[in-house]
Structure 1
């Protein structure tokens, strides 16, 4: 399944166009390699998504064509979530 479609169906990113933009900016990697929106996602892949100051690393558990909102979280497992430091607070 295409990366942008997986991110939308799993609800990691709400819109496929936003997922495509983020991927094309080089802010998503699959198994440590920068991925394009058209890259294939398979089960057991590790996705790292960088949103602004947040980085989310997930493991793909299953791939389905459609899913309900409640079941979308079953498509992945969150491995790591981190936030960048806000250096302006440290200057005080």
Structure 2
């Protein structure tokens, strides 16, 4: 399944077009590298999505075979971490 479709089905991003745009803008990464919207995801893949105020890291647990209910969408991934970017001091970094 394409990562933009997976993001929509899991409701990490509400609309596929928004998920595609997030990928195109480099907000979605795997192993520290930006991914294209058409990148296939598989069970066990880990990726992160970064918004202006936070970063969410997830692991893919299941790939749905069609539309997914809101309840089921939360079982498709495991939340590995959430970083509130506003908590990082402005002078933090190299």
TM range (shorter): 0.7 to 0.9
How many residues are matched? Answer: 88
Q: Which moved more, 1:79-88 or 1:46-55?
A: 79-88
Instruction: Name 2:2's counterpart in structure 1.
Output: 2
- Verify the 8 A CA contact 1:31 1:45 in the aligned structure 2: no
Residue 55 of structure 1: how far off its partner (Å): 0.1
* Deviation per residue, 1:67-89 (Å, 9 max, x gap): 1111100000000101113669x
Instruction: Kindly report structure 1 stretches of 4+ aligned residues shifted beyond 6 Å.
Output: none
Residue 4 of structure 1: how far off its partner (Å): 0.5
Instruction: Name 2:22's counterpart in structure 1.
Output: 22
CA RMSD of aligned residues (A): 1.5
Residue 52 of structure 1: how far off its partner (Å): 1.1
Q: Which runs of 5+ in 1 are unaligned?
A: none
In 1, distance between residues paired with 2:33 and 2:85?
A: 21
Higher helix share: 1
- Verify the 8 A CA contact 1:53 1:83 in the aligned structure 2: yes
